[in-house]
C-alpha cells in the first residue's frame, strides 16, 4: 500500500520523499527547492542533502519508489484475478492523486530525469505485459518493449491533459469517481474490443515494413 500523505511516524528519508512527491505534484520540480521540501517534511534542510545527496538525487529516489510501488499495486490484479471497479479502486487508493500529479509535473519538466521516469515506467509496463501474458490476462505482443513505450505515452498523455479529459467527460477531476469510471470503462472497452475488426492493416504493414523487436533490433526474416 502506498503511504504518500500518511501521518505515521516513518523514517526521515521516507518523510522527505513523501513531502517531495506531494510538493512537486502541486508546484513542479522547477519551483521546488530543498528548503521548501524540507519545510513540507518538517525537517532541517540539511537532511535533504544528507540523505539524498542533492535535489536530483531526491528526484531519482522519488521516481524509483513510485515505480516500485506501482509495480506492486498493478501486478496484483493480474496474478490474483481480483479486478476492482474504478470507484472502489479510487476509494481504496486516495494516494493516487499526489502520485498522478507528481508524474504529470515531472514529465512537464523534461530533461534527463524526465527520461529516467519515462524509461522506468516503460520497464514497469513491460513487466506488467509479461505477467499478464503469462497469466492469460493480456495478449502476447510481437514487440512487448515497443508496446510498453506506446502504452506509457498514452498514459502520460492522459496525465498531462487530465483536466481537459475530465472536462470533456463532464467532470472537473479525472480521478473523481464518476469521471474516472467513465474514462476507465471506455479505455478497457477499447483494449478489449480493438478498434480494428481484423488484421488487414497489420498484415499490410508487415508486408511493406519488416517488424521491429524490442529496442530497435530487426526480427530475422522467416526462412
pLDDT at residue 131 in the model: 86
Say how many C-beta atoms besides its own lie within 10 A of residue 63's C-beta.
22
Look at 83 and 152; give whichever has higher pLDDT.
Answer: 152
pLDDT at residue 88 in the model: 52
205-220 tens-digit pLDDT: 888 776 555 554 444 4
Cell of 66: 513510485
Q: Is the dihedral of CA 118, 120, 121, 127 positive or negative?
A: positive
pLDDT at residue 4 in the model: 47
pLDDT at residue 46 in the model: 94
In this predicted structure, the answer to whether residue 14 has a pLDDT above a threshold of 80 is yes
Q: Where are the domains of the chain?
A: 66-160+193-216
93-150 tens-digit pLDDT: 565 667 778 888 888 888 887 888 889 889 888 988 888 888 888 899 999 999 999 9
60-82 tens-digit pLDDT: 999 888 878 776 665 555 544 55
Burial class (CB in 10 A: 0-12, 13-18, 19+), 103: buried
Using alpha carbons, list the distances in angstroms from residue 216 to 107, 125, 145.
Answer: 24, 18, 9
Find the DSSP H helices in the chain: 12-27, 34-41, 46-52, 55-80, 86-92, 96-109, 111-135, 144-160, 162-168, 177-192, 200-208
Amino acid at each position: 500500500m502506498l503511504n504518500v500523505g500518511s501521518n505515521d511516524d516513518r523514517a526521515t528519508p521516507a518523510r522527505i520523499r513523501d513531502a517531495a512527491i506531494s510538493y512537486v505534484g502541486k508546484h513542479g520540480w522547477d519551483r521546488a527547492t530543498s528548503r521548501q521540501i524540507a519545510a513540507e517534511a518538517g525537517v532541517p534542510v540539511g537532511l535533504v542533502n544528507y540523505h539524498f545527496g542533492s535535489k536530483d538525487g531526491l528526484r531519482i529516489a522519488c521516481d524509483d519508489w513510485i515505480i516500485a510501488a506501482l509495480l506492486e499495486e498493478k501486478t496484483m490484479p493480474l496474478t490474483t484475478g481480483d479486478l476492482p471497479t474504478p470507484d472502489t479502486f479510487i476509494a481504496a487508493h486516495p494516494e493516487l492523486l499526489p502520485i498522478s500529479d507528481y508524474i504529470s509535473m515531472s514529465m512537464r519538466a523534461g530533461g534527463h530525469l524526465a527520461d529516467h521516469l519515462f524509461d522506468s515506467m516503460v520497464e514497469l509496463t513491460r513487466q506488467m505485459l509479461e505477467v499478464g501474458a503469462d497469466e492469460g490476462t493480456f495478449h502476447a505482443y510481437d514487440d512487448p518493449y515497443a508496446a510498453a513505450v506506446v502504452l506509457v505515452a498514452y498514459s502520460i498523455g492522459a496525465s498531462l491533459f487530465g483536466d481537459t479529459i475530465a472536462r470533456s467527460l463532464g467532470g472537473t477531476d479525472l480521478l473523481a469517481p464518476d469521471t474516472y469510471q467513465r474514462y476507465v470503462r471506455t479505455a478497457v472497452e477499447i483494449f478489449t474490443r480493438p478498434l480494428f475488426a481484423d488484421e488487414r492493416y497489420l498484415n499490410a504493414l508487415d508486408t511493406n515494413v519488416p517488424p521491429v523487436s524490442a529496442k530497435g533490433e530487426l526480427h530475422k526474416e522467416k526462412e
